[in-house]
Structure formats: structure tokens, C-alpha cells
Chains A and B, each alone.
Chain A
Amino acid sequence: MTDVTSIATDTKTPALRIRDVAKTFSTPHGDVVALKPVSIDIKQGEFIAIIGPSGCGKSTLMNAVGGLLEDYEGTVEVDGKVVRGCHQEIGMVFQEESTFPWRTALDNVAFPLEAAGVGKEERHAKAMELLNLVGLDGFENRFPAELSGGMRQRIAIARTLAFKPRILLMDEPFAALDEQTRLLLGDKVLQIQQELNQTTMLITHNIAEAVQLADRVLIMTFRPGTIKRVVDIDLPRPRSSKMMGGERFGHFVATIWEDLREEASKGLLELEQVRST
């Protein structure tokens, strides 16, 4: 396990550097601090997971890094260059269903290439490669409505990868899926991440998912959110969901829950107080 202060001390230029990113929202009832300064360094090819109770600012952090939120304090650097706003080096996969229902699987994946002016033949060839990568070859001419939730989320992942982003951000990408699909899709994400050596930042509520996928798990405090603790997951790679029954896996889940329980309890207490008023 690592102490909070050592999160951002790697001397080599990291693929993604988040420096003192913080956000305060102004509301009619006064300012709400959603995120206290957060600093994280992520190495090339590293997979980190950020876990925390609802309302801790995980999505705010992701939106700031991904560029959907531009009005924040601190800086985000990709390969040492400060970026603000949406950037092609950073790809995002969203929690909600985000495939375009009027496009086939192939045209969904080819979407960013089409927007960039890549020719039809080339973009379709690239999209087919990515559909193969996510295990959807044979479904290229299907519309999203004809596919399952897990398949649609794989299309969204392939579409994000089409642009070859240096950093892949995933905001609870499996939240809307059933447990079995979630586990299998986790395996698929691991396989893709290992094949492409893709630097990845995952936001999740699910402890087992974080342990299954990540090299490091960052636990966030309840509002105002900041990094409470970092847990290094030294499970061997390549990994898969088969590891979930292992003793070491259980140890990490228990360790993370120990810290997370306190924060989740604070969130639950606040929710109950709001409801009682």
C-alpha cells in the first residue's frame, strides 16, 4: 500500500499527470466544494481505478481530465503538455448507453474517423479491426437496438479506441450491466488493455471490478472528495475474472472496503438526513 503523498512522485514524465485539480460549484445555496485538490500521476500502460462513495466527485474529476469540464483549478498534463478542454489524446467511455442508434455497429466505431475526414474504405477497415478486438466481428451491420447492453458498451469502447487515444477514461462503463456480463466484459477490457498497453483510468463503485482490472486503486473520501488512500494491486498479469475466488484477491477487496466503508457511511448518513428533512 502507498501513502497518499507518494502518489505523484515519479520522476519520469508520466503519460497523464493530474496536478491539484479541484472544483467548487456555485449554487443558490452557496458554494459546494465537489473536489478538493487531487494529484495523480499515471505511467504509460498503467491501469488505475478510482473508487469512492456516490457524490464524492469521481465523475467531476473524470470530466475535468476528459475536458467536459473546463472551469476547474489545477492542471492536467498528457506527456508533459498541459491540456484543457476536450483533447484527442484522451478518449472517454461513458456510463450511460452512448452508441448512436441510427448507425450500425461498424458506422458507430468508424464515427470519430469519419468526423476526422478519413476515407470510407480506410475507416471501415479500421473499424472492422476494432470490432474484432472487442469480439464483435459478424455484428458489424447490426444496429445497437439489435444488440445486448454488453455488446453496445463494447461498441462504445471500440469507438473510443478508434481515435488511438493516449489515455482511456472510463466512467463506470459496466454500471448498467448485469453481474455476469460485467465480469466477462471486465475480462475483455483487460485483454484489450494488455494488447494495446493502453493507459487507462477507470471510475467505479465496484470494489471487485477495481481489484480485477487495476494496477492501483485510489480510494476517495466522501464530499468534498479527495484521494484518501492508494492501494497497489500486485496480482499477477495477465488477469481474468477467474482470480476472484483467490485469497489475495479477497484480501484486497477487504482492505479497500475497510477504508471505503467509513466514507460510504458518511454518504448514507447525509442521504438519510436529507430525506428526513
Chain B
Amino acid sequence: MTAVNTATVVPPVRRRAAGKPLLPPLVARLLFLVFAIGFWEVASRYGWINAFTAPAPSAIWSGFIQIIVAGELGAAFVRTFLEALAASAIGAIGGIAIGWWLHSSKKIGLAYTSWVAAAASAPLVLLYPLFLVIFGRNSSTIVAMGALGCMPPIILKAKDGLDGVRPVLLNVGRAFSLTPRQQFTMIQFPAALPVIFTGIRIGLLFAIINVVGVEFLIAFGGLGELISDLGDRFDYPAMYAAIFFVVLVSIAFFYLTEKLEIWLLSSK
């Protein structure tokens, strides 16, 4: 009698490591975008959605080329970029100064920090008529609204950062008889910078949103006015192209500042 080998050969099963996603995040994101854009294209072409108010992505792409060639997008972008930059610079300087003021006095901090937190979550862009009265219909109104919008997160993070400086670092400064100015510039500010930078990053995005928003509302130059103008001309493909351009600029900006923050923290 011969021995019968009853053991069956089971092919090795390749299992995913625990917690490892099915697709790499980048591939998953690209697949989603391809699917969404493809679906939109088909829906628009076959009339499932109104192709006039929601033009197909291919039409939006043509509109994008059109506004680039005409030079409208480039000029509007430069103007919006400069206004957002000016607004962010004013907002950052003012925000850090006010954050320091809230930090330096416990009573003042307790009294006003909650107001700033409330302002951070309020749609400050709605105050634009007041600024129109003060500054007139010009770039100053747009820059002022952008600065106002980006200030609350910078104030809050500046206060948090300065509050969080380890007392022993301040004692080192005192032991070396540093002046109050040296104490701030050589110890407090650099120690708080990682937290302040987070506030500046959020503030810059708020500045872009406010600048584009006010440009749109008062129809005075930049990407906001371009979107408003294209909408008034019923050139919806180009209008959507401009809107997506603003979204892409914001995403790129957020990504770059995030990378910059990580680099700053890791190198120090």
C-alpha cells in the first residue's frame, strides 16, 4: 500500500500589511479627479446637466486658454497677488503686535482674546461697505479688507506662541541681563516662531479669500473682478476657468507654505 499524500498545496496569499491603503493616496486622488471630470464631461455633452450654466471641462479648458492668450488672467493674477501680499504683510505685522499685546498683559488677554476668536470665525468680508466709505473704491479697500481678514488667526497664534515660550529660556535672557527688546527679538520671537508661522499660513489664505472676495464685490481689478466680469458677459467657460485658477492658486499656496513650515521646524 502506498502512502497517499493528502496535503494540498495552498498558494501563498499576498496580504496587504495592516493599515496600508489599497491605493497610494496620490493615485487615489488622481483617479477620483479623472472620474469626476470624465463624468462631468459626459453629463454636459449628453445634456444631463445644463451645458450653458455648467459647461463641460473641455469647454472650460478652452476658456482658460482664451483668458491666458488675451492676457486677462496674467494681469489679474499679478494684481491679486500683490494685493494679497500687501494685505498679508500688514496683517502679519499688526497681528503679531496685537498678539504680543494680548500676551504681555494677562488681564488684557483675558478680556479680548475671545473677541479675536469670534472675529476669526466671522465673515468679516461683509464689512466691505464700511471700508469703501473710509478708503473709497480703490486698492486700499481691498488691501485693508485682506489685512483685516488675515489678522485674527495671526493674533491668536502669536499669543499662543508667546504664551508657550518655556520660562527657562526667558530666565536665560534675564540671567544675561538682556534688555526687554533683546528679550523679545533674541528669545521670545524665535521661540514662538513655529506657532506664529502656523497663524501666518492660515492668515495668508484668509487674505487671498478676502482680497478675491472684495475684488468681486466692488468689481475693482484682479481675479475677483475678472470672475465677475466674465460672469456678466455670460462667458461661463472662461468664468469657471478663472474660478478654478483661484482654487488651484490657493491649494498651491497652502501646499508650499506647509512644506516651508515643515522644513523650518525640521531644520531647527
Contact = CB atoms under 8 A, between A and B. Distances in A.
19 contacts: A68-B174, A87-B177, A88-B176, A90-B175, A92-B172, A94-B171, A94-B172, A97-B168, A98-B168, A98-B172, A100-B172, A100-B190, A101-B191, A114-B186, A115-B176, A115-B178, A143-B268, A160-B175, A163-B176
B171 A111 contact: no
B187 interface: yes
Interface string B1-19: 0000000000000000000
B169 A66 contact: no
B186 to A, nearest CB: 6
A111 B191 contact: no
B193 A91 contact: no
A86 B180 CA distance: 13
B191 to A, nearest CB: 7
- When A and B form their complex, which 9 residue pairs have the shortest distance between CB atoms, in order from nearest? A96-B168, A92-B175, A102-B268, A112-B176, A102-B190, A98-B168, A86-B177, A86-B174, A94-B168
Given A92-B175, A102-B191, A145 B268 contact: yes
A66 B175 contact: yes
A100 B175 contact: no
Contacts of B267: 143
Contact of B169 (A87, A100, A114): A100
Contact of B186 (A96, A115, A143, A163): A115
B45 interface: no
Task: Give the interface SS of chain B, mostly helix, strand, loop or mixed.
Answer: helix
Given A92-B171, A101-B268, A115-B178, 8 more contacts: A68-B174, A86-B175, A91-B175, A98-B169, A100-B172, A115-B176, A115-B182, A143-B267
Nearest to B177: A86
Interface in B126-175: 166, 168-169, 171-172, 174-175
A224 interface: no
Label chain A's interface by main secondary structure.
loop
* Residue of B166, B169, B182, B267 with most chain A CB atoms under a 10 A cut-off: B169
A45 interface: no
Q: A98, A143, A163 — which one has the most chain B CB atoms within 10 A of its CB?
A: A98
A249 B191 CA distance: 43
Nearest to B266: A145
The listed residue with most A CB atoms (<10 A of its CB), out of B171, B174, B175, B182, is B175
A67 interface: yes
A145 B194 CA distance: 15
A86 B191 CA distance: 22
Interface of B: 166, 168-169, 171-172, 174-178, 182, 186-187, 190-191, 193, 267-268
Nearest to B268: A102
B187 A100 contact: yes
Contacts of B168: 94, 96-98
Contacts of A91: 175
Nearest to B178: A115
Contacts of B186: 111, 114-115
Contacts of A100: 169, 172, 187, 190-191
A1 to B, nearest CB: 33
Nearest to A143: B268
A111 B173 CA distance: 10
A163 to B, nearest CB: 7
Interface in A126-147: 143, 145
B182 A68 contact: no
Contacts of B171: 68, 92, 94, 98
Given A87-B177, A88-B177, A96 B166 contact: yes
Contacts of A101: 191, 268
B195 to A, nearest CB: 13
Contacts of A96: 166, 168
Contacts of B174: 67-68, 86
B167 to A, nearest CB: 8
A68 B176 CA distance: 11
A123 B176 CA distance: 15
A163 B176 CA distance: 8
Contacts of A102: 190-191, 193, 268
